[in-house]
Amino acid sequence: MKIYEIKKSKFIAYLYDVSSKEEVKKIYQDLKIEHKKARHIVYAYLTNNNGTESGGYSDDREPKGTAGLPLFNLLKNKKISNKAIFIVRYFGGIKLGASNLLRAYITSATMLFED
């Protein structure tokens, strides 16, 4: 788990091992329960089972193209499979705008791969 904050909005990033869409749905439901007051929980996942690649993403009501798709592309570009990135956003009261929102989600996700 990594936390990134910008203009009072808090982005909490998680990286999970997954092998199916069902696992992703379960993690999403668990995070919704854990983070009841979060405004958005966006995610992207990519699986590769016996050479069959599949994946998906959700913007969870964020502006189209600012959250789930960039995370999905990050997984594809880094050739990372059987992983899911979830980012929980607590809105801080200040609108970020599409470009800052996109940057915040990508920054949060890339922090997961640092160490």
For residue 98, what pLDDT is reported?
94
Q: How far apart are CA 16 and CA 71, in angstroms?
A: 13
C-alpha dist (Å) from residue 109 to 49, 50, 52, 68, 88: 23, 26, 24, 11, 11
Positions in the chain whose pLDDT score sits under 50? none
State if pTM tops 0.75. yes
For the chain, the domains span 2-113
Q: Are 87 and 109 in contact, with CB atoms under 8 Å apart?
A: yes
Give pLDDT, residue 114.
86
CATH architecture, range 2-113? 2-Layer Sandwich (3.30)
Q: How many CA atoms lie within 13 A of 114 on its CB side?
A: 10
| Distance from C-alpha of 70 to C-alpha of 75, rounded to nearest angstrom | 9
